Structure 1
């Protein structure tokens, strides 16, 4: 179902962060979207990340915050790296992630003159890997990381050319 008519976006505000921290339901989800954060996600942790990052953006579904993302790396004229992608549990499966990623791709092109966008996704995040593949992101590298329990995991680094 196409919900694009009901989806809008705007820069994230400090008050949005109180709602956004509730998007993350489990320690595993937090590891997927913000590996350096400690469970449970707090407004302070998200505010600190937002202060170091660029273009923290909220997607609104029918006026209600439904998604959040930002850039954790950016190189003007080259690339932006998508980070902290979180979708509200009530809004999952309604096109919010597709919409928000498209918004971030547009911001990367227009504000940073980026020719490509990078994303990283852990091997256990099948939904994320399938989403990025569907949106045209292609694997570039697989690097070893450790999960919060110290287990070896694979971080799949993907990239898409922005046109």
Structure 2
């Protein structure tokens, strides 16, 4: 299994739009979007964000993420994280988060990296602490059906205590 990463290319946007399989999955990675994810929605997010990155597994694009907040010497916040259904459970998400952490700490000299996860995203809630992220706040939100959900904010300092 060969993993690599690089900046997203325009022609890959339609493929990435197919990664979320339902409205619930899309809500986890892009709460403001409406299902199905469209090229204009993703293109706009890419334009407003920084370091939009894809992961290739054996040459095929299988994951995507970016920073919705990036401050030199401050905080970088990972968003729009999504892994293609066929690549889930293979370590692709971990690889992508680790590359985003590297970019935050080297390119942006970030003091900390943040990631947020909805309470129903069990895979994320189990993965992020394994990478060193610790919860620091819980925010009440509504999902796309108007149901109450919790958005758990986690952070990883540049030099963990």
TM-score calculated relative to the size of structure 2: 0.96
RMSD: 0.8
1:101 paired to 2:97: yes
Cross-structure match for 2:126: 130
Aligned-pair distance for 1:117? 0.4
Aligned-pair distance for 1:24? 0.6
Q: Figure out how many residues of one structure are paired with residues of the other and give that number.
A: 159
Cross-structure match for 2:77: 81
- Note if contact 1:137-1:160 (Cα within 8 Å) is conserved in structure 2: yes
Q: SS at the partner of 1:148?
A: coil
1:160 paired to 2:156: yes
Gaps of 5+ in 2: none
2:109 equivalent among 96, 106, 113: 113
Spell out structure 1 runs of 4+ moving beyond 3 A: none
- Written as runs of structure 1 = structure 2, the 5 A alignment for 1:46-65 is 46-65=42-61
Distance in 2, Cα, partners of 1:28 & 1:149? 10
Q: SS at the partner of 1:77?
A: coil
Distance in 2, Cα, partners of 1:139 & 1:70? 20
Distance in 1, Cα, partners of 2:64 & 2:105? 19
Gaps of 5+ in 1: none
Cross-structure match for 2:65: 69
